[in-house]
C-alpha cells in the first residue's frame, strides 16, 4: 500500500511536470506555494496540468473500483463498466443531456449516473432471465453496449454542435478538462469510494451467491442494489467528463487481485491507488509518446487493455472447459 502511494505521488509530480513544455520540480513548488502567479508556468500548472492530473486520478479510481464492484457482484472476471455497457449507457445519457440541457454542465454527472444505472440494471436482468452465467453477462453487455453506442453516434451526428468533442468523448480523453467540470464528479466519486469501502465485507459475502449470502443473514437485494448504485455513480461520474474510457475497469482490478488477493476490504483502496496511477501513467504516455501531438488517453488504455482482455477470455474459456 505504501509502495502504491509513493508510486502515485511520483506519477502526480511527473504528470504536472511533463507535457508540451516541461516544467521542473522547483518551478512547480514555486507555483504551488503561490509565487510566480504571472508566469506562463503558473498558468500551465494551474489551468491545465493540475485539473488534468486530478481528472486522471478521479477517472482511474472511479472506473477501477466500479469494475471491481461489478466483477464481485456478478462473480465474473470479464465484467467491467466498459465491457458490459455501463460506460456506453452513461455516454448516451451524457450526450442527451448536452443536447437538451447544454447550458448546465452539472447535469452531466447526473445524466451519466442515470444511464450507467439503467444499463447495469438492464444487463443484470437480461443475464438473470437467461441464467446468470459468465458468458451471458458479457454477451448481454456487448449487445446493450452496441445499442447504446449506436444511439450515442446517432445523437452526435444529428447534433454536431453539442459541447462534447465527439472523438475525444467516444475514445475517452482528459484534454481540456477544467476544475469546474470535475468538481461535482470528483465529490461523487470520493463519497462513493468511502461508501464502497464501508460495505466492502458485504460485497465479499455477496460474491458467494444469493442463497449462501441470504443464509448468512445478508440482505441480498438491498446490498446488491446498493452496489449497483455505487458502481453506476462511480462510472457515470467519470464518463461525464472523460468520455468512454475502456479497459481500465477490467485490467486494474485483476492486477490488484494478483497483488493482494480477493478480499474487497483491501482491494478497494488498492484498486483506487493503482487505478489512479494507471490512468496517470496512460495520460502521461498520451501526452508525450507522439509529442508534440497528443492522443486521447483512451487509445493508450485500449492498447494496453485489449491484449489483457484477450488473455482473460482465453483463461476463462480454459476454466470453463476444465470445470
Partner 1 sequence: MIRLDSVSSGYGGVKILKNISLSFESGSIISIIGKNGCGKTTLLKTASKLIEPYSGDILLNGKSIFNMSGKETARQISYLPQSRDIPNIKVYDLVMHGRFPYLGFPRIPAKHDKIIVKEALGRLGLINYKDKNIMELSGGERQKVYMAMVLAQDTDVVFLDEPTTYLDINHQLEILEIVKYLKKIGKAIIMVIHDLNIALTYSDKVCLMDKGEIVIYDSPQDVYESREIERVFDVRCQEAYIGRGQKQYVFSI
Please give the residue ranges that form the binding site for partner 1 (CB under 8 A). Answer: 75, 198, 201-202, 204-205, 207-209, 211-212, 214-219, 257, 261-263
Contact by Cβ (8 Å): 98, 163: yes
Q: Which residue has the cell 493482494?
A: 260
What is the chain's Cα-based Rg? 20
**Any alpha helices (H) in 159-219, and if so which ranges?**
166-171, 179-198, 200-206, 210-215
Task: Tell me whether the omega of the peptide bond preceding residue 292 falls within 30 degrees of 0, making it cis.
Answer: yes
| Min CB(210)–partner 1 separation in Å | 9
d(CA 118, CA 53) in angstroms, rounded, equals: 30
CB proximity list for 11: less than 8 A, separation 6 or greater: 276, 277, 280, 281, 284
Cβ-based nearer residue to partner 1, 24 or 209 = 209
| Min CB(173)–partner 1 separation in Å | 33
| Min CB(246)–partner 1 separation in Å | 23
Cβ-based nearer residue to partner 1, 161 or 211 = 211
Q: Any idea what the Cα angle at residue 59 is, between residues 84 and 209, rounded to 5°?
A: 40
Cβ-based nearer residue to partner 1, 22 or 221 = 221
Cβ-based nearer residue to partner 1, 73 or 177 = 73
d(CA 323, CA 234) in angstroms, rounded, equals: 34
Cβ-based nearer residue to partner 1, 165 or 263 = 263
Contact by Cβ (8 Å): 88, 148: yes
| Min CB(247)–partner 1 separation in Å | 20
Cβ-based nearer residue to partner 1, 166 or 214 = 214
Q: Which residues of 95-109 are buried (b: 16+ CB within 10 A; e: fewer)?
A: bbbbbeeeeebebbb
Cβ-based nearer residue to partner 1, 100 or 201 = 201
| Min CB(106)–partner 1 separation in Å | 32
| Min CB(73)–partner 1 separation in Å | 12
| Min CB(197)–partner 1 separation in Å | 9
Q: Any idea what the Cα angle at residue 185 is, between residues 138 and 297, rounded to 5°?
A: 60
Q: For the chain, percent helix, then strand, then coil, each to nearest 5?
A: 75, 0, 25
Cβ-based nearer residue to partner 1, 215 or 291 = 215
| Min CB(57)–partner 1 separation in Å | 25
d(CA 203, CA 316) in angstroms, rounded, equals: 22
Amino acid at each position: 500500500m505504501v509502495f502504491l502511494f509513493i508510486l502515485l505521488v511520483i506519477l502526480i509530480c511527473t504528470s504536472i511536470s511533463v507535457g508540451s513544455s516541461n516544467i521542473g520540480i522547483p518551478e512547480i513548488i514555486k507555483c504551488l506555494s503561490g509565487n510566480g502567479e504571472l508566469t506562463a508556468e503558473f498558468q500551465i500548472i494551474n489551468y491545465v496540468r493540475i485539473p488534468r492530473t486530478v481528472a486522471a486520478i478521479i477517472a482511474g479510481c472511479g472506473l477501477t473500483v466500479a469494475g471491481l464492484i461489478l466483477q464481485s457482484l456478478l462473480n465474473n472476471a470479464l465484467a467491467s463498466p466498459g465491457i458490459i455497457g455501463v460506460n456506453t449507457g452513461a455516454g448516451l445519457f451524457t450526450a442527451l443531456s448536452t443536447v437538451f440541457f447544454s447550458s448546465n454542465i452539472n447535469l452531466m454527472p447526473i445524466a451519466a449516473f442515470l444511464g450507467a444505472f439503467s444499463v447495469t440494471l438492464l444487463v443484470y436482468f437480461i443475464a438473470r432471465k437467461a441464467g446468470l452465467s459468465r458468458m451471458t453477462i458479457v454477451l448481454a453487455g456487448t449487445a446493450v453496449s452496441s445499442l447504446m453506442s449506436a444511439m450515442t453516434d446517432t445523437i452526435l451526428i444529428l447534433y454536431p454542435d453539442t459541447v462534447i468533442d465527439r472523438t475525444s468523448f467516444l475514445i475517452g480523453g482528459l484534454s481540456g478538462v477544467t476544475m469546474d467540470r470535475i468538481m461535482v464528479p470528483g465529490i461523487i466519486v470520493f463519497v462513493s469510494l468511502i461508501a464502497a469501502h464501508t460495505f466492502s465485507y458485504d460485497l465479499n459475502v455477496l460474491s458467494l451467491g444469493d442463497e449462501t449470502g441470504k443464509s448468512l443473514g445478508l440482505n441480498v437485494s438491498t446490498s446488491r442494489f446498493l452496489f449497483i448504485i455505487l458502481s453506476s455513480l462511480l462510472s457515470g461520474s467519470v464518463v461525464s467528463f472523460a468520455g468512454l474510457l475502456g479497459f481500465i475497469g477490467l485490467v486494474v482490478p485483476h492486477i490488484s487481485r494478483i497483488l493482494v488477493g480477493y478480499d474487497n476490504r483491501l482491494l478497494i483502496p488498492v484498486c483506487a491507488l493503482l487505478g489512479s496511477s494507471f490512468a496517470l501513467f496512460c495520460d502521461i504516455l498520451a501526452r508525450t509518446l507522439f509529442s508534440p501531438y497528443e492522443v486521447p488517453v483512451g487509445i493508450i488504455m485500449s492498447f494496453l487493455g485489449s491484449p489483457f482482455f484477450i488473455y482473460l477470455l482465453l483463461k476463462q474459456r480454459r476454466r470453463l472447459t476444465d470445470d
